[in-house]
Protein backbone atom coordinates (compact mmCIF):
# COMPACT_ATOMS: atom_id res chain seq x y z
CA UNK A 1 0.00 0.00 0.00
CA UNK A 2 2.88 2.38 0.76
CA UNK A 3 4.09 1.75 -2.79
CA UNK A 4 0.68 2.65 -4.21
CA UNK A 5 -0.51 -0.92 -4.84
CA UNK A 6 -4.08 -1.98 -4.19
CA UNK A 7 -5.84 -5.32 -4.45
CA UNK A 8 -7.69 -5.55 -7.75
CA UNK A 9 -8.80 -9.21 -7.63
CA UNK A 10 -8.54 -12.28 -5.43
CA UNK A 11 -8.81 -15.70 -6.95
CA UNK A 12 -9.01 -19.12 -5.33
CA UNK A 13 -7.54 -22.23 -6.94
CA UNK A 14 -9.58 -25.40 -6.54
CA UNK A 15 -9.23 -29.10 -7.22
CA UNK A 16 -12.52 -30.72 -8.20
CA UNK A 17 -13.04 -34.49 -8.14
CA UNK A 18 -14.25 -36.09 -11.36
CA UNK A 19 -15.92 -39.13 -9.78
CA UNK A 20 -19.66 -38.73 -10.45
CA UNK A 21 -20.50 -40.38 -7.14
CA UNK A 22 -18.49 -37.71 -5.32
CA UNK A 23 -19.62 -34.73 -7.44
CA UNK A 24 -23.26 -35.79 -7.55
CA UNK A 25 -23.16 -35.64 -11.36
CA UNK A 26 -24.07 -39.28 -11.99
CA UNK A 27 -27.25 -39.33 -14.07
CA UNK A 28 -27.31 -35.55 -14.58
CA UNK A 29 -28.53 -34.85 -18.10
CA UNK A 30 -29.13 -31.82 -20.26
CA UNK A 31 -32.25 -29.89 -19.24
CA UNK A 32 -35.23 -30.36 -21.57
CA UNK A 33 -34.82 -28.35 -24.77
CA UNK A 34 -31.01 -28.42 -24.79
CA UNK A 35 -28.45 -30.69 -26.36
CA UNK A 36 -24.68 -30.78 -25.92
CA UNK A 37 -22.38 -30.72 -28.92
CA UNK A 38 -18.60 -31.06 -29.06
CA UNK A 39 -16.76 -27.85 -29.90
CA UNK A 40 -15.27 -29.36 -33.05
CA UNK A 41 -18.80 -29.99 -34.35
CA UNK A 42 -20.19 -26.44 -34.05
CA UNK A 43 -19.72 -23.35 -36.16
CA UNK A 44 -16.46 -21.76 -35.04
CA UNK A 45 -17.47 -18.13 -35.65
CA UNK A 46 -20.64 -18.54 -33.58
CA UNK A 47 -18.68 -20.28 -30.81
CA UNK A 48 -16.22 -17.38 -30.75
CA UNK A 49 -19.09 -14.90 -30.35
CA UNK A 50 -20.55 -17.01 -27.53
CA UNK A 51 -17.17 -17.20 -25.80
CA UNK A 52 -16.79 -13.40 -26.02
CA UNK A 53 -20.30 -12.89 -24.59
CA UNK A 54 -19.73 -15.32 -21.72
CA UNK A 55 -16.42 -13.70 -20.75
CA UNK A 56 -18.16 -10.39 -20.10
CA UNK A 57 -19.48 -11.90 -16.85
CA UNK A 58 -16.15 -13.43 -15.80
CA UNK A 59 -14.22 -11.16 -13.44
CA UNK A 60 -10.92 -10.17 -14.98
CA UNK A 61 -11.96 -10.86 -18.59
CA UNK A 62 -14.53 -8.12 -19.11
CA UNK A 63 -14.08 -6.45 -22.49
CA UNK A 64 -12.32 -9.51 -23.91
CA UNK A 65 -12.85 -10.14 -27.63
CA UNK A 66 -11.17 -12.91 -29.58
CA UNK A 67 -9.79 -12.29 -33.02
CA UNK A 68 -10.35 -15.08 -35.51
CA UNK A 69 -6.73 -16.25 -35.60
CA UNK A 70 -6.32 -16.30 -31.83
CA UNK A 71 -9.49 -18.30 -31.34
CA UNK A 72 -8.45 -20.77 -34.06
CA UNK A 73 -5.11 -21.29 -32.26
CA UNK A 74 -7.02 -22.50 -29.19
CA UNK A 75 -8.34 -25.42 -31.23
CA UNK A 76 -4.93 -26.23 -32.64
CA UNK A 77 -3.23 -26.28 -29.24
CA UNK A 78 -2.16 -29.60 -27.75
CA UNK A 79 -4.41 -28.97 -24.75
CA UNK A 80 -7.62 -28.89 -26.84
CA UNK A 81 -9.72 -32.02 -26.45
CA UNK A 82 -13.13 -32.03 -28.17
CA UNK A 83 -14.42 -34.64 -25.70
CA UNK A 84 -13.95 -32.15 -22.85
CA UNK A 85 -15.18 -29.01 -24.63
CA UNK A 86 -18.95 -28.99 -24.95
CA UNK A 87 -21.41 -26.38 -26.17
CA UNK A 88 -25.03 -26.24 -25.00
CA UNK A 89 -27.43 -25.64 -27.87
CA UNK A 90 -31.05 -24.53 -27.53
CA UNK A 91 -32.93 -27.12 -29.61
CA UNK A 92 -35.81 -24.77 -30.45
CA UNK A 93 -33.70 -21.91 -31.80
CA UNK A 94 -30.31 -23.43 -32.52
CA UNK A 95 -28.76 -20.69 -30.36
CA UNK A 96 -25.61 -21.50 -28.43
CA UNK A 97 -26.36 -21.14 -24.72
CA UNK A 98 -23.27 -22.17 -22.76
CA UNK A 99 -19.85 -23.78 -22.66
CA UNK A 100 -17.92 -26.21 -20.51
CA UNK A 101 -14.28 -26.70 -21.48
CA UNK A 102 -11.44 -28.54 -19.87
CA UNK A 103 -7.94 -28.16 -21.25
CA UNK A 104 -5.68 -31.22 -21.13
CA UNK A 105 -2.61 -29.84 -19.39
CA UNK A 106 0.45 -32.05 -18.76
CA UNK A 107 0.14 -32.13 -14.96
CA UNK A 108 -3.61 -31.88 -14.41
CA UNK A 109 -6.65 -31.12 -16.57
CA UNK A 110 -7.87 -27.54 -16.11
CA UNK A 111 -11.48 -26.38 -16.17
CA UNK A 112 -11.00 -23.20 -18.18
CA UNK A 113 -14.63 -22.13 -18.35
CA UNK A 114 -18.10 -23.22 -17.49
CA UNK A 115 -20.62 -20.50 -18.26
CA UNK A 116 -24.16 -19.98 -19.48
CA UNK A 117 -25.73 -16.92 -21.07
CA UNK A 118 -27.96 -15.00 -18.62
CA UNK A 119 -31.25 -15.88 -20.35
CA UNK A 120 -30.52 -19.61 -19.96
CA UNK A 121 -29.37 -19.61 -16.34
CA UNK A 122 -31.12 -21.19 -13.34
CA UNK A 123 -31.93 -24.41 -15.21
CA UNK A 124 -28.97 -26.52 -14.12
CA UNK A 125 -27.28 -26.13 -17.49
CA UNK A 126 -23.76 -25.45 -16.16
CA UNK A 127 -23.85 -28.47 -13.88
CA UNK A 128 -25.29 -30.62 -16.66
CA UNK A 129 -22.53 -29.51 -19.05
CA UNK A 130 -19.91 -30.62 -16.52
CA UNK A 131 -21.42 -34.11 -16.07
CA UNK A 132 -20.30 -35.60 -19.42
CA UNK A 133 -17.02 -33.66 -19.42
CA UNK A 134 -16.06 -34.92 -15.96
CA UNK A 135 -17.27 -38.43 -16.88
CA UNK A 136 -14.72 -38.51 -19.72
CA UNK A 137 -11.96 -37.43 -17.36
CA UNK A 138 -13.00 -39.97 -14.72
CA UNK A 139 -13.08 -42.80 -17.29
CA UNK A 140 -9.53 -41.82 -18.33
CA UNK A 141 -8.36 -42.14 -14.74
CA UNK A 142 -8.02 -38.39 -14.15
CA UNK A 143 -9.31 -38.09 -10.59
CA UNK A 144 -9.25 -34.30 -10.34
CA UNK A 145 -9.45 -31.17 -12.44
CA UNK A 146 -8.08 -27.79 -11.42
CA UNK A 147 -9.79 -24.44 -11.82
CA UNK A 148 -9.66 -20.86 -10.60
CA UNK A 149 -12.62 -18.82 -9.37
CA UNK A 150 -12.70 -15.11 -8.60
CA UNK A 151 -13.57 -14.79 -4.92
CA UNK A 152 -16.40 -12.35 -5.72
CA UNK A 153 -18.09 -14.82 -8.09
CA UNK A 154 -20.61 -16.36 -5.71
CA UNK A 155 -22.36 -18.51 -8.34
CA UNK A 156 -19.13 -20.11 -9.59
CA UNK A 157 -17.81 -20.68 -6.08
CA UNK A 158 -21.11 -22.32 -5.10
CA UNK A 159 -21.02 -24.53 -8.17
CA UNK A 160 -17.50 -25.88 -7.63
CA UNK A 161 -17.90 -26.24 -3.88
CA UNK A 162 -21.16 -28.11 -4.46
CA UNK A 163 -19.19 -30.56 -6.60
CA UNK A 164 -16.84 -31.30 -3.72
CA UNK A 165 -14.00 -28.97 -4.72
CA UNK A 166 -11.29 -28.20 -2.22
CA UNK A 167 -9.33 -24.98 -2.16
CA UNK A 168 -5.70 -25.62 -3.08
CA UNK A 169 -4.36 -22.08 -3.08
CA UNK A 170 -5.02 -18.69 -4.47
CA UNK A 171 -3.62 -15.51 -5.91
CA UNK A 172 -4.00 -11.80 -5.46
CA UNK A 173 -3.76 -9.35 -8.33
CA UNK A 174 -2.30 -6.03 -7.30
CA UNK A 175 -2.41 -2.87 -9.37
CA UNK A 176 -0.66 0.40 -8.96
CA UNK A 177 -2.98 3.34 -9.20
CA UNK A 178 -1.87 6.01 -11.62
CA UNK A 179 -2.52 9.36 -9.97
CA UNK A 180 -2.44 11.13 -13.34
CA UNK A 181 -5.31 8.98 -14.64
CA UNK A 182 -8.32 9.22 -12.26
CA UNK A 183 -10.75 7.85 -14.87
CA UNK A 184 -9.78 4.19 -14.80
CA UNK A 185 -7.32 4.36 -11.93
CA UNK A 186 -5.07 1.61 -13.27
CA UNK A 187 -1.51 2.01 -14.43
Segment 77-101 mean pLDDT: 94
| pLDDT per residue as tens digits for the range 34-61 | 999 999 999 988 998 998 888 887 766 6
C-alpha separations of 48 from 53, 69, 118, 146, 168 in Å: 9, 11, 17, 23, 31
Specify the DSSP element, H or E, that contains 150. strand 144-150
Look at residue 187 and tell me whether its pLDDT is greater than 50: no
Q: Which residues pair with 144 in a beta bridge?
A: 17
Q: Which pLDDT score is estimated for 180?
A: 61
- For residue 135, the model assigns a pLDDT of 97
Each residue of 54-71: pLDDT tens digit? 888 776 666 777 777 777
- Indicate the pTM of the whole model: 0.86
Work out the pLDDT band at 181, boundaries 50, 70, 90: low
Task: Name the nearest CA neighbour of 85 among 123, 45, 41, 133.
Answer: 133
pLDDT of 97? 97
CA gap 146, 101 in Å, rounded = 12
Amino acid sequence: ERLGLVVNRRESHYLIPTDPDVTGLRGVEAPPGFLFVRADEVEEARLRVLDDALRQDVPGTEGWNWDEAGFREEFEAHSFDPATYLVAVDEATGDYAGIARVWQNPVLPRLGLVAVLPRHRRRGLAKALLAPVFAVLHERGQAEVSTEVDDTNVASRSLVLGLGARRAGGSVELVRRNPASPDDGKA
